[in-house]
Amino acid sequence: MPLTVKPLTKTIGAEVTGVDLAKPLDEPTRKALYDAWIEHAVLVIRDQHLSPPQFAAAARLFGDIMEQQLKKFALPDHPEVGTISSKDLPLVDGKLKVRGEQYHTDHSNYAAPPKATMLHAVSLPSFGGDTQFVDVRQAFDELPAEKRRALVKLRSPHVYESSQSPRKMAALSPQERAQIPQTVQPLVIRHPENGRSALYINTARMEGIEGMPSDEAFKLIDDLYRHATQSKFEYRHKWRAGDMVIWDNRSVMHQANADYDPNEYRFLYRIMLQGAPLQPAAA
Quick: pLDDT tens for 133-149.
Answer: 999 999 999 999 999 99
What's the CA gap between 146 and 153, in Å, rounded? 12
CATH superfamily of 4-280: Clavaminate synthase-like (3.60.130.10)
Backbone angles phi, psi at 84, to 5 degrees: -120, 115
pLDDT of 1 > 70? The answer is no
pLDDT of 47 > 70? The answer is yes
Summarised one tens digit per residue, pLDDT across range 52-94 is 999 999 999 999 999 877 677 788 899 899 998 888 776 776 6
Summarised one tens digit per residue, pLDDT across range 171-192 is 777 787 777 889 999 999 999 9
Q: Per DSSP, what are the bridge partners of residue 44?
A: 15, 245
The pLDDT score that the predictor gives to residue 93 is: 67
Q: Per DSSP, what are the bridge partners of residue 234?
A: 134
* Residues 249 and 105 sit within 8 Å (Cβ to Cβ): yes
* Residues 249 and 106 sit within 8 Å (Cβ to Cβ): yes
Residue 183 three-state SS: strand
Domain boundaries, the chain: 4-280
Q: What pTM does this model have?
A: 0.93
Specify the pairing of strand 14-17 against strand 42-45: parallel
